[in-house]
Chain A
Amino acid sequence: MPFTILPPAPAIPFNHPHHYAASDNDSLSSADEMDIDTTTARPTKRARLSRSLVTPGETVTSDPQWMRGHGTYIPSDSTSIVSTVAGTVLKTNKLLSITPLRARYTPEIGDLVIGRIAEVQSRRWRVDISAPLLGALPLSAINLPGGILRKRTAVDELNMRAFFSEGDLLVAEVQSVFADGSASLHTRSLKYGKLRNGYFMAVSGLQFGYRARGGEVDVVLGVNGFIWIARHVEQAKDVAVTRLEESVSLSIYSSQNDEIGPQTRREIARVAGCIRALVEAGARVDEDMVVRAYEASLELDFETEGREDAGGEFLGGEKGKRIVEMALGSATS
Chain B
Amino acid sequence: MPLDTSTYSLALLRLDGRRWNELRRIHAQISTQAAADGSSYLEMGNTKVICTVTGPAEGRRTAQGAGQECRVEVEISVAGFSGVERKRRGRADKRTQEMQHTLTTAFSSILFTHLYPHSTIILTLHVLSQDGSLLAACLNAATLALIDAGIPMSDYLCACTAGSTANEDTDEPLLDLNGLEEQELPFLTAGVLGDSDKVAVLMLETRVRVERVEGMLAVAVDGCKRVRGILDAVVRAHGRRMVEEGV
Contact = CB atoms under 8 A, between A and B. Distances in A.
A223 to B, nearest CB: 16
Interface string A9-29: 101111111001000000000
Nearest to A75: B154
B58 interface: yes
A204 interface: yes
A36 to B, nearest CB: 22
A22 B240 CA distance: 17
A134 B66 CA distance: 14
A104 B112 contact: no
B88 interface: no
Interface stretch (B92-100, B199-207, B231-239): B231-239
A53 B154 CA distance: 17
B37 A84 contact: no
B243 A49 contact: yes
Contact of B153 (A12, A17, A56): A56
Interface stretch (A85-93, A137-145, A249-257, A309-317): A85-93
A55 B235 contact: yes
A104 B119 CA distance: 13
Given A2-B84, A12-B237, A87 B150 contact: yes
Interface in A159-214: 180-182, 204
B58 A132 contact: yes
Contact of A86 (B27, B129, B147): B147
A328 B149 contact: no
B73 interface: no
Contacts of A49: 243-244, 247
Main secondary structure of the interface of B (DSSP, over half): mixed
Q: Which of B26, B131, B156 has the most CB of A within 10 A?
A: B156
Given A1-B180, A9-B27, A57 B152 contact: no
Interface in A280-298: 280-284
Contacts of A88: 243
A73 interface: yes
Contacts of B57: 104, 132
Nearest to B240: A53
Interface string A293-333: 00000000000000000000000000000000000100110
Nearest to B121: A132
B232 A181 contact: no
B213 to A, nearest CB: 26
Given A1-B131, A104-B150, A134-B58, 11 more contacts: A2-B179, A3-B46, A15-B229, A17-B195, A53-B240, A55-B235, A56-B152, A82-B155, A85-B150, A133-B58, A283-B246
6 contacts: A56-B155, A84-B152, A87-B239, A132-B119, A181-B117, A279-B34
Q: Which 6 A-B pairs have the closest CB atoms?
A: A103-B150, A57-B155, A45-B246, A100-B150, A84-B152, A57-B194
Interface of B: 25-28, 31, 34, 37-38, 46, 55-58, 70, 83-84, 112, 115-119, 129, 131, 147-156, 179-180, 193-195, 228-230, 232-247
